[in-house]
Amino acid sequence: MTSKRKRAMGGANWSLFVLLLIALFIIINYLSFRHFKTYDTTFSDEFSLSPQTKKFLKELKNDVEVYVLLPIGDVGYEKVSRLLDSFKVESKRIKVEYVDPERDKGRYEILLKKYQVTNPDSVVFVSGDRSRWVERDEFLEYEYSMFGEPPKMKGFKGENSFLNAMYDVVDPRKPVIYFTVGHGEKFDFDESGKGASFFKERLSKEGAVIKTLQTAGLKKVPDDASLVIVAGLNIPFTKEEEGVLERYYEEGGSLFLLIDPMFKEGNEIEFKDSGLEDLCKKYGLELQNDLVVDPEASLLEGRAQTFYGVDYSSHKITYDLMKNKYPILFTLARSLNIVDPQSSDFKCEKLISTSEKAWGETNLKELKNVKKDNEDYAGPLCLASLIENRKNEKSRMVVIGDSDIISDGTILSGLGGNTIFALNVVHYLVKMENRISIPPKQIKSSSIVLTSTQIVTNFIVVVIIYPLIFAILGVWVYFRRRR
Amino acid sequence: MNKLLAITKKELLHYFYSPMAYVVLWAFLLINGFLFYVILSALSKTASPPVSPLSIIFGGSFFFYLLTIVITVVVTMRLGAEERKQGTFETLLTSPISDFEIVMGKFLAAFIFYVVAWLFTLIYVFIVKAYQKDLDFGPIISSYLGTLLLGMFFISIGLFSSMISKNQIVSAVIATLIMTMLLGITFLEFISSGVTREIFHYFDILTIMDNFSKGIVDSRNLIYLLSGTAFFIALSEKSLEARRWQ
């Protein structure tokens, strides 16, 4: 064989080898691109999905198309794409398309029009002919500076909002929620913007149909009711109205009672009944006439009647709040006392309690100088309770000694726990537990602050001494070799 | 296996009996140390963003890639080119050692040197731990894993360049070019869209290192870095085989 031919053969052999190697590399990486797994090594499971999201994705029977309408450099882009990647790991039915508003302008405009998206930076979920879009404020939490600095991303709540959006497009059930009226309720659910608009909007956004229920003269709760909410009474319920709620509950209905301490009108402040005391007592829960004061968990010094609930049970309603230490803000609350029910078919379970230092103030005459005394109820006090009906498991009831937990003011002053808790209660009561809210993932502040002395010490150690050791070693090796 | 380890030992002795290894380690720790000091000083200011100093060290700055390229190029550029220049390759090729053992022996030696260099950066972890009691070790472990895998990939590129080059400078230039091109995928990803962008995203080393530094170990990243390493090792072996028949 001539050397020219030998070289040509060698060249062909080389080219074939390189081509095969490239083909193998592409096949391996294509398979890895299609079938992948991610492992979260953070101790706090920062990048892991909650069990309910995993369960939902694993059981997904319909395809869900996701359109990410965010520019690549957007502050939430990376978090969104990471989360959607985790969704894809759990289910092959999730199809994701990223559409940059600047670069894919045509496609972006078509999608905005097709799915009637009015907010430009959104993520759209589509299944069959149903679609739901989630705007940026629903998946990002910001911290605003008072000094004119740009807002910082504080938390990422994409898992919760995306999961709920997917529920909406694959499960079109719409629970009907009735709010009672006619008792001077402080929230007007017929009109928006009256005291509890955030809560109402969240319920509507999650697919609930909100209606009001005039209980005066009512014989029966409407058949379409998935839940009846009694919140912020000023005028007590009559015996007949109480009876309507009792029958509704015992026949498999769901009740959510948010009952503040109520006061008589007149010169001297005195407690009055809400008209629902007998109903609650029948099932083993006493509505105590007191004002809860918790100096240890108060929001502001000197205003111990506004405080955070600190002790949560491990029930699924409060489990994630407990795990993520999300506080729920109460203001002017009454305590609840678990007593023996009339029938062993009912059982009360504490959901939230105060600290041990709290007490239930019973003397309204000395409100300007409140202090714990013998007549007061001693802490820890129950603030929210769940009533189970063993005879009819469809019957569900949650009682809270404060209606302000759903007010706009409290939701805005709190740390996010109130909305999550109230929505969790509603999801549980309308038998849609799989929609229990997942608290946002906080963006961890892991920076460290050093004093100037510590900074100088670090400089000497890591920049001078430490590398110098290797320089000395090098010099030593050099002279040793010369010898 | 013994022959492979003998080659590894020979190369390692060559590294550590030469003052050059210590100059490289000194420069590596000086730059990393200075970077660490700058990061700590910057993060100690009240208006600084809440970022972990270690995530910047591992893939969060330009210096990480610069150091990785420099150290992998320096430790690999002489592996093949130097043997050819000194004429010791012929002796090696006529000995009863397979091409695979030669290539893997050299690769292993360069990788051990790289691992040793990064092990010395553990001092930064101890320093951060001293100031931050609730330090999460998960992302630190994954950062080291990512750094080692990236090192393997770059060393295999350096080894291949050295095997096909006649002198060390050419080898260093080729290796640096390939590594820079791989890092340039970030730019291609930025200017593309749709499926093309997804493909570039898959191969983007900056994204891969960002995952590792945050504590995410993604099978796609592992497969890419490992298959890339295997690809260049196979090419190196083939170049050695071609040289045998020249």
Domain range summary for chain A, segments of one domain joined by +: 51-169, 174-431, 449-483
pLDDT greater than 70 at residue A38: yes
Task: Give dist(CA A403, CA A382) in Å, integer.
Answer: 15
ipTM of the complex: 0.90
Mean pLDDT of A465-470: 91
Closest chain B residue to the Cα of A476, Cα to Cα = B19
Please answer yes or no on whether B131 and A44 come within 8 Å at the CB atom: no
Task: Give dist(CA A86, CA A441) in Å, integer.
Answer: 15
pLDDT of residue A289: 92
pLDDT greater than 80 at residue B220: yes
Residue in B49, B202, B215 nearest the CB of A42:
B215
Closest chain A residue to the Cα of B200, Cα to Cα = A33
Q: Which of residues 64-83 of B touch A (CB under 8 A)?
A: none
What distances in angstroms separate CA A287 from CA A55, A388, B238, one per listed residue?
38, 17, 83
Most confident of A35-39, A179-183, B125-129, B229-233: B229-233
Label residue A75 by pLDDT band (50, 70, 90).
confident
pLDDT of residue B57: 82
- Enumerate the residues of chain A whose CB falls inside 8 A of the CB of residue B136: 42-44, 446
Would you mind telling me the total number of residues written for chain A in this entry? 483
Least confident of A47-51, A315-319, A363-367: A363-367
pLDDT greater than 60 at residue B36: yes
Mean pLDDT of B9-22: 87
Taking only the tens place, the pLDDT of each residue in B117-128 is 999 999 999 998
Task: Please give the CATH architecture assigned to the domain spanning A174-431.
Answer: 3-Layer(aba) Sandwich (3.40)
Label residue A200 by pLDDT band (50, 70, 90).
confident
Taking only the tens place, the pLDDT of each residue in A109-121 is 999 999 988 878 8
Q: Extract the tokens encoding A127.
A: 């299944």
Question: What's phi and psi for A298, nearest 5 deg?
Answer: -75, 150
pLDDT of residue B47: 56
Taking only the tens place, the pLDDT of each residue in B169-190 is 999 999 999 999 999 999 998 8
Mean pLDDT of A318-336: 84
Mean pLDDT of A66-92: 88
pLDDT greater than 80 at residue B104: yes
DSSP line for A348-417: EEEEEE--TT-EEE--GGGGGG----TTSEESS-EEEEEEEESS-TT-EEEEES-SGGGSHHHHHHS-SH
Least confident of A278-287, A304-313, A327-336: A304-313
- CA A370, distance to chain mean position in Å, is 35
Confirm or reject contact between A146 and chain B (CB < 8 A).
no
Contact A377, A360 (CB under 8 A): yes
Burial label for B1, CB within 10 Å (0-12, 13-18, 19+), is exposed
Mean pLDDT of B59-81: 88
Taking only the tens place, the pLDDT of each residue in A225-239 is 999 999 988 899 999
Contact A229, A212 (CB under 8 A): no
One-letter amino acid at A276 equals L
| Inter-chain CB pairs, A–B, below 8 Å | 163
Query: Which residues, in sequence order, are bridge partners of residue A227?
Result: A177
Question: Which long-range contacts link B20-24 to residues 24+ away (Cβ below 8 Å)?
Answer: B20/B74, B21/A474, B21/B113, B22/A470, B22/A471, B22/A473, B22/A474, B22/A475, B22/A477, B23/A471, B23/A474, B24/B71, B24/B74, B24/B75, B24/B117
Q: Which of residues 50-79 of A touch B (CB under 8 A)?
A: 72
CB proximity list for A141: less than 8 A, separation 6 or greater? A153, A154, A155, A156, A157, A416, A440
Confirm or reject contact between B91 and chain A (CB < 8 A).
no
pLDDT greater than 90 at residue A352: yes
Confirm or reject contact between B227 and chain A (CB < 8 A).
yes
Task: Give dist(CA B244, CA B246) in Å, integer.
Answer: 6
pLDDT greater than 70 at residue B96: yes
- Enumerate the residues of chain B whose CB falls inside 8 A of the CB of residue A14: 238, 242
CB proximity list for B133: less than 8 A, separation 6 or greater? none
Burial label for A80, CB within 10 Å (0-12, 13-18, 19+), is buried
CA-based nearest distance B227→chain A, Å: 6
CB burial readout A347-361, b (16+ within 10 A) else e:
ebbbbbbbbeebbbb
CA-based nearest distance A14→chain B, Å: 8
Q: Which of residues 329-348 of A touch B (CB under 8 A)?
A: none
Q: Extract the tokens encoding B161.
A: 């360049």
> In a mutagenesis test of the B interface, which of A4, A16, A32 is the best target, namely the one with the most B β-carbons within 10 Å?
A32
Q: Extract the tokens encoding B103.
A: 């290539």
Confirm or reject contact between B46 and chain A (CB < 8 A).
yes
- CA A6, distance to chain mean position in Å, is 71
DSSP line for B192-206: --HHHHHHHHHH-HH
Confirm or reject contact between A151 and chain B (CB < 8 A).
no
The one-character DSSP state at A49 is P
Look at the alpha carbons of B58, B59, B63, B69 in this order and tell me if their dihedral is positive or negative: positive
Q: Which of residues 424-443 of A touch B (CB under 8 A)?
A: 443
Closest chain B residue to the Cα of A46, Cα to Cα = B215
Identify the CA nearest to A296 among candidates A361, A380, A364, A411: A380
Mean pLDDT of A124-133: 90
Least confident of A189-203, B88-102, B219-233: A189-203
pLDDT of residue A401: 95
Residue in B220, B228, B234 nearest the CB of A36:
B220
Task: Give dist(CA A326, CA A310) in Å, integer.
Answer: 9
Please answer yes or no on whether A475 and B19 come within 8 Å at the CB atom: yes
Share of chain A above pLDDT 70, in %: 90
DSSP line for A424-462: HHHHHHTT-GGGPPPPPEE---------HHHHHHHIIII
CB proximity list for B87: less than 8 A, separation 6 or greater? none
Task: Give dist(CA A358, CA A305) in Å, integer.
Answer: 10
Q: Extract the tokens encoding A397.
A: 């009831």
pLDDT of residue B181: 95
- Enumerate the residues of chain B whose CB falls inside 8 A of the CB of residue A478: 19
HSE-CB at A111 with a 13 A cutoff on CA atoms is: 27
- Triad B92, B96, B100: Cα angle to 5°: 75
Look at the alpha carbons of A225, A227, A232, A233 in this order and tell me if their dihedral is positive or negative: positive
Task: Name the packing angle between helices B2-16 and B19-43 (round to 10°).
Answer: 70
Gyration radius from chain A CA atoms: 30
Share of chain B above pLDDT 70, in %: 93
- Enumerate the residues of chain A whose CB falls inside 8 A of the CB of residue B36: 458, 462
pLDDT of residue A450: 78
Residue in B136, B193, B219 nearest the CB of A103:
B193
Mean pLDDT of A336-340: 93
pLDDT of residue B131: 84
Task: Give dist(CA A447, CA B92) in Å, integer.
Answer: 53
pLDDT greater than 80 at residue A146: no
3-class SS shares of chain B: helix, strand, coil, % to 5: 85, 0, 15
Task: Give dist(CA B2, CA B26) in Å, integer.
Answer: 32
pLDDT greater than 70 at residue B78: yes
Please answer yes or no on whether B29 and A470 come within 8 Å at the CB atom: yes
Mean pLDDT of A141-145: 64
> In a mutagenesis test of the A interface, which of B40, B46, B191, B221 is the best target, namely the one with the most A β-carbons within 10 Å?
B40
pLDDT of residue A171: 79
Task: Name the packing angle between helices B2-16 and B99-119 (round to 10°).
Answer: 40
HSE-CB at B27 with a 13 A cutoff on CA atoms is: 13
Mean pLDDT of A322-347: 87
pLDDT greater than 90 at residue A193: no
pLDDT greater than 90 at residue A20: yes
Task: Name the packing angle between helices B205-214 and B137-164 (round to 10°).
Answer: 150
Most confident of A46-50, A104-108, A197-201: A104-108
pLDDT greater than 60 at residue B147: yes
CB burial readout B66-94, b (16+ within 10 A) else e:
ebbbbbbbbbbbbbbbbbbeeeebeeeee
CA-based nearest distance B132→chain A, Å: 7
Task: Name the packing angle between helices B219-244 and A3-34 (round to 10°).
Answer: 170
Question: What's phi and psi for A191, nearest 5 deg?
Answer: -115, 145
pLDDT greater than 80 at residue A413: no
**Greatest Cα pair distance in chain A:** 120
- Coil, strand or helix: which one is A282? helix
Mean pLDDT of B43-49: 64
Residue in B33, B223, B228 nearest the CB of A462:
B33
Strand pairing category for A64-69 and A122-127: antiparallel
Q: A51-169, what's its fold?
A: Glutaredoxin (3.40.30)
Share of chain B above pLDDT 90, in %: 50
- Identical fold, A51-169 and A174-431: no
- Enumerate the residues of chain B whose CB falls inside 8 A of the CB of residue A22: 231
Label residue A167 by pLDDT band (50, 70, 90).
confident
